[in-house]
């Protein structure tokens, strides 16, 4: 049935998107733990980021808060480092500033532009997922980080599953999302059938 095919396709798409989002949180935890420890390695004096692993976990969790979530953690770390720099050596105030700018401008942009869309885009085109994540918060604010991908899945699966059947076209696959992958699978199947026929003919 058309409705069952469509709902199954939406469910599959949402599983891909939100599983990828959860995976993104764990990737951010790992990357920030590495970055925090690298900053500690090059820290001037005793300007060390405390409990780097715990802060990395908190940074990943705060990814759930759209737009400003991780920035709050970066700002808190930079503020602690700035206070320590003032107490120890005011000339090292550049260090917390560099840390904050690197995390907010470089790292966060990499997460938003590449990491999150790539991990969530296994079933959809990377640019489409990126557009959904970037446009969602603009349209819906706080909840846009979830509603943007949700609407993308609903619309894309409607165009791929419902529209072809309404036009009388036969649905080749319930989730015809990646034509390249499907074509390769069909070619492999044809090759296997052809080999089987050749073998049978030789008997």
Between CA 19 and CA 12 the distance in angstroms is 11
Tens of pLDDT, residues 30-69 = 999 999 999 999 998 888 999 999 999 999 888 776 666 7
Tokens 């107490």 map to which residue? Answer: 87
Tens of pLDDT, residues 100-128 = 999 988 998 888 788 877 776 666 766 67
Residue 142's pLDDT band, with cuts at 50, 70 and 90, is low
Across residues 166-193, what is the average pLDDT? Answer: 47
pLDDT the model gives residue 57: 93
Contact, 177 vs 124, CB < 8 A?
A: yes
Smallest Cα–Cα separation from 132: which of 29, 17, 1?
17
pLDDT the model gives residue 1: 60
Tens of pLDDT, residues 150-164 = 888 888 878 777 777
Measured CA to CA in angstroms, residue 13 lies from 5, 111, 144, 155 at distances of 12, 21, 17, 11
* 88 Cα distance to chain centroid: 40
pLDDT the model gives residue 185: 38
Q: How far apart are the first and last CA of the chain?
A: 43
Tell me the domain boundaries of the chain: 2-196
Residue 83's pLDDT band, with cuts at 50, 70 and 90, is very high
Between CA 152 and CA 123 the distance in angstroms is 12
Tens of pLDDT, residues 2-40 = 677 778 877 777 777 777 778 888 999 999 999 999 999
Contact, 160 vs 176, CB < 8 A?
A: yes
pLDDT the model gives residue 77: 94
120-123 LR contacts (CB < 8 Å, sep 24+): 120/16, 120/17, 120/18, 120/20, 120/21, 120/24, 120/149, 121/20, 122/16, 122/20, 123/12, 123/13, 123/16, 123/17, 123/175, 123/177, 123/178
Between CA 105 and CA 101 the distance in angstroms is 6
Residue 94's pLDDT band, with cuts at 50, 70 and 90, is very high
pLDDT the model gives residue 100: 94
Higher pLDDT, 67 or 187: 67
Q: Mean pLDDT of all residues in the chain?
A: 76
Whether the predicted pLDDT of 168 surpasses 50: yes
pLDDT the model gives residue 179: 39
């Amino acid at each position: 049935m058309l409705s069952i095919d469509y709902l199954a396709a939406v469910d599959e798409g949402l599983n891909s998107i939100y599983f990828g989002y959860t995976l993104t949180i764990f990737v951010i935890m790992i990357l920030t733990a590495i970055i925090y420890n690298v900053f500690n390695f090059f820290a001037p004096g005793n300007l060390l980021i405390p409990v780097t692993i715990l802060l990395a976990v908190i940074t990943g969790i705060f990814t759930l808060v759209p737009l400003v979530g991780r920035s709050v953690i970066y700002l808190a770390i930079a503020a602690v480092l700035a206070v320590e720099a003032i107490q120890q050596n005011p000339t090292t105030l550049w260090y917390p500033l560099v840390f904050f700018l690197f995390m907010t401008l470089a790292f966060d942009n990499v997460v938003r532009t590449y990491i999150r869309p790539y991990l969530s885009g296994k079933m959809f085109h990377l640019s489409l997922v990126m557009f959904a994540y970037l446009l969602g918060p603009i349209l819906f604010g706080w909840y846009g980080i979830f509603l943007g991908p949700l609407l993308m899945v609903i619309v894309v699966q409607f165009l791929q599953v419902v529209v072809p059947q309404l036009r009388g076209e036969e649905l080749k696959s319930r989730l015809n999302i990646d034509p390249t992958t499907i074509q390769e699978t069909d070619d492999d199947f044809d090759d296997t059938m052809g080999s089987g026929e050749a073998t049978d003919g030789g008997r």
